[in-house]
Amino acid sequence: MYKILHKQILTQDIKRIDIHAPAIASRVAPGQFVMATSDLYTHPIPMSVIDSDEKRGMISLIVHEIGPATRTLGALSIGDALLKVVGPLGQPALIDKFGLVVCVATGIGAAQILPLCRALKKKGNKVIGIMGAKSKKVLMLEAQMRVVCDEIFITTNDGSYERKGLATEALKDFLNKYKVDCVYAIGSVDMMEAASAMTRSKGIPIYVTLNPYMANGLGLCGSCRVKVGGHLQLACLHGPQFNGHEVDFGDLNHRMNALKETGWNNQNLLVKTRSRGLVTLVKSLWGLTKR
Ligand SMILES: Cc1cc2nc3c(=O)[nH]c(=O)nc-3n(C[C@H](O)[C@H](O)[C@H](O)COP(=O)(O)OP(=O)(O)OC[C@H]3O[C@@H](n4cnc5c(N)ncnc54)[C@H](O)[C@@H]3O)c2cc1C
Ligand code: FES
């Protein structure tokens, strides 16, 4: 179970892996994720399911290696097996027939938006993709996005490919030129906040996918809590997709930055097995009380 059936190296630190997980493959919907654990020494991490094949009992993940758990996962080879894959978790993304839909993604958000673009296209929408990356070197999934979108626009911060600038600048231009019916955005908190502000002023609905830190993904700890419409929500249970006009991005940014400063590291949760429960509990309480 959870054997790696195929592996593709997309860039030096971005890998696609196809995993044998028939129970998940038969139930997963676009927008849902799994908690993947590589081995006894790495903590489970949330990973979006970017594709699934029910017949072959296979799910696909795209792993951006940024820390211990993602590096361990990315280093597994064909034939290796993950220790555990739990899912599908979270709510399926809202997929409807809107008309003209713009899907904006930056960074690893490209992996997460890919299944949404595919499903929106299948529903009969005209799908425009806007992809932002720091440079051409780290731009991912361009070819796959070209297949599922009617048209794509690319921006790079350093101007090394296509338009120089931010994905939100391309979005602004597009919204000024065309009558857009709906926007989906996945990426940095700043990008999703800017896109939500832009669409609010034009009365266009926007759905954003939030990626807060998640300790267990099961709605048990509170580490992924976000403020939406003035209420506390758990991104792993009620999300990860939310109405962008209702998300308190200031609160999300504050929590993400605070956790970075206090040294959030999934590996910390494992180092001393005996203290794991305590560390998780402290982080959970912090997540529930810090507002
Ligand atoms: C619902 C959901 C879906 C996700 N889907 C994918 C996916 O498809 N592919 C993928 O590569 N990643 C995805 N992620 C992010 C991934 O889970 C984290 O990158 C991973 O947990 C980092 O673990 P690590 O041990 O490798 O790094 P850590 O040592 O935990 O972190 C390394 C650095 O990254 C920062 N970091 C860790 N987690 C996050 C986070 N969630 N958001 C922002 N910064 C973070 C840390 O502060 C630190 O600076 C998703 C996250 C969520 C919540
Ligand atoms: S990760 Fe969502 S409640 Fe624990």
Domain end residue (candidates: 27, 60, 89)? 89
User: DSSP letter string over 183-229?
Assistant: EEEES-HHHHHHHHHHHHHHT--EEEE-----SSSSSSS-TTEEEET
**Could you tell me which of 133, 132, 97, 102 has the C-alpha nearest to residue 117?**
102
Does the beta carbon of 219 sit less than 6 angstroms from any atom of ligand 2? yes
Domain end residue (candidates: 186, 209, 232)? 209
Sheet containing strand 58-64, edge to edge, reads: 4-11, 14-20, 58-64, 51-53
Tell me, yes or no, whether 62 and 131 share the same domain. no
Domain end residue (candidates: 162, 192, 209)? 209
User: Taking a C-beta distance cutoff of 8 angstroms, is the pair 11, 140 a contact?
Assistant: yes
Distance 33 CA to ligand 2 centre (A): 13
Q: In angstroms, rounded to a whole number, what is the distance separating the alpha carbons of residues 62 and 85? A: 14
Helices (H), the chain: 22-25, 68-75, 109-122, 142-148, 167-177, 189-202, 235-238, 249-261, 273-289
Q: Which ligand is nearest to the CA of 212?
A: 1
Q: Which amino acid is present at 261?
A: E
Element (H, E) at 61: strand 58-64
* Apex 10 CA angle, 75 and 256, nearest 5: 75
Tell me, yes or no, whether 120 and 50 share the same domain. no
Tell me, yes or no, whether 140 and 186 share the same domain. yes
Tell me, yes or no, whether 116 and 202 share the same domain. yes
How deeply is 16 buried, as exposed, middle or buried, from its count of CB atoms within 10 A (0-12, 13-18, 19+)? buried
Which of the listed residues 186, 211, 218 should we mutate to test ligand 1's pocket, taking the one with most ligand atoms within 8 A of CB? 211
Does the beta carbon of 70 sit less than 6 angstroms from any atom of ligand 1? yes
User: Taking a C-beta distance cutoff of 8 angstroms, is the pair 195, 208 a contact?
Assistant: yes
Does the beta carbon of 41 sit less than 6 angstroms from any atom of ligand 1? no
Tell me, yes or no, whether 205 and 218 share the same domain. no
3 state SS of 254? helix
Structure tokens at 71: 């590096």
Q: In angstroms, rounded to a whole number, what is the distance separating the alpha carbons of residues 3 and 78? A: 8
Tell me, yes or no, whether 225 and 188 share the same domain. no
Place of tokens 């290796």: 80
One digit per residue, the tens of pLDDT, for the chain of length 291 reads: 899 999 999 888 899 999 999 999 999 999 999 999 999 888 899 999 999 999 999 999 999 999 999 999 999 999 999 999 998 999 999 999 999 999 999 988 999 999 999 999 999 999 999 999 999 988 888 999 999 999 999 999 999 999 999 999 999 999 999 999 999 999 999 999 999 999 998 999 999 999 999 998 999 988 999 999 999 999 999 999 999 999 999 999 888 877 665 555 555 544 444 445 555 555 555 554 443
User: Taking a C-beta distance cutoff of 8 angstroms, is the pair 74, 63 a contact?
Assistant: yes
Tell me, yes or no, whether 62 and 101 share the same domain. no
Structure tokens at 47: 């990973």
CATH number of the domain where residue 177 is located: 3.40.50.80
Domain limits for position 243: 212-291
Structure tokens at 273: 């097995």
User: Taking a C-beta distance cutoff of 8 angstroms, is the pair 98, 126 a contact?
Assistant: no
User: Taking a C-beta distance cutoff of 8 angstroms, is the pair 85, 5 a contact?
Assistant: no
Q: In angstroms, rounded to a whole number, what is the distance separating the alpha carbons of residues 175 and 177? A: 5
Tell me, yes or no, whether 124 and 23 share the same domain. no
Sign of CA dihedral 6, 10, 13, 14: negative
Distance 87 CA to ligand 1 centre (A): 17
Tell me, yes or no, whether 268 and 199 share the same domain. no
pTM of the model: 0.88
Tell me, yes or no, whether 27 and 55 share the same domain. yes
- Into how many domains does the chain fold? 3
